[in-house]
Amino acid sequence: MRTAATALLLLLATTPALAASPTVDATSVGDSVAATTHSPTLPACASGKLLVIHASIDNNQTPTANWTAGWTQLVELTGDSQVDGVVRYKFATGSDTLSFDTNGSATVSYIVRCYGGAHASSAPEIGTVSQPGATLDPDPPSVTASWGAEDNLFCPFTVYDSGGVTITIDTTHSDADTTNGYPINYTTDARDQAVASAAGVASVCRPLTATATADPGTFRITASDRIYAATIVIRPAAATQSQSPRSMHQYRLRR
């Protein structure tokens, strides 16, 4: 006769364990000033992990060509007269490099993250892009993961012009949408990088349990300027079984 304990163990044997949210394992930030070829420094990233770059490009100098093989475009933000942006990703090999050209001499500011625990066959996804012109409060729209409610990692970002001054995240600002300049409750790996009279980029992440859709709220920058903003979502690694059928068989024999 099957006992309650046996039934529970049988359920565990056939129910996949929930995968934990992806993690930010390493990050590099930097810039290249007044150049046509740009080679961002990559963080150390073991084979199989996920690399993602967020970059801002000053003065409408689009990221045009000669990307290192293997980097897939998630979005290219072009058309503004003052700032462009790009997000690309690749699954690391352990010996990764990155270089790309702009269509004229430009300053590029970037954030590159290495994510652990990302799904090996699901690319990161991005929501719609906000481009309101000049604002103090870049507002990345919501994103909904096509794969549904899992323990996803949501990472809003913004790229912004920095005309005449160095514009950064306003770390003194807090309100209902923003804490220390970043979307409220988003605290994982808060980063920004900017160059005076050029362009800046900022991003932060938040793991959310069993969640398909997130609308992060706003950033706050130190001066109003032209921006783009969006949110990416990263899927957790595929779930694994918590207990094998063989171990269940051994349990039944012991009883």
CA dist 187 and 185 (Å) reads 6
- Cα dist from 157 to 34, 88, 110, 226, 252, whole Å: 23, 13, 11, 14, 52
Q: Is residue 109 part of a domain?
A: yes
Q: At what angle do helices 245-254 and 4-14 cross, to 10 degrees?
A: 160
**Per-residue pLDDT reduced to its tens digit, 6-42:** 444 444 444 445 579 999 999 999 998 788 999 999 9
The rounded percent of the chain whose pLDDT value lies above 70 is: 85
Q: Is residue 10 part of a domain?
A: no
Question: pTM of the entire structure?
Answer: 0.86
Q: Number of folded domains in the chain?
A: 1
CA dist 106 and 103 (Å) reads 8
Residue numbers of the domain that contains 74: 18-237
Q: Is residue 253 part of a domain?
A: no
CA dist 75 and 79 (Å) reads 13
**Per-residue pLDDT reduced to its tens digit, 124-150:** 999 999 998 899 999 999 999 999 999
Q: Is residue 254 part of a domain?
A: no
Q: Is residue 12 part of a domain?
A: no
Per-residue pLDDT, 121: 93
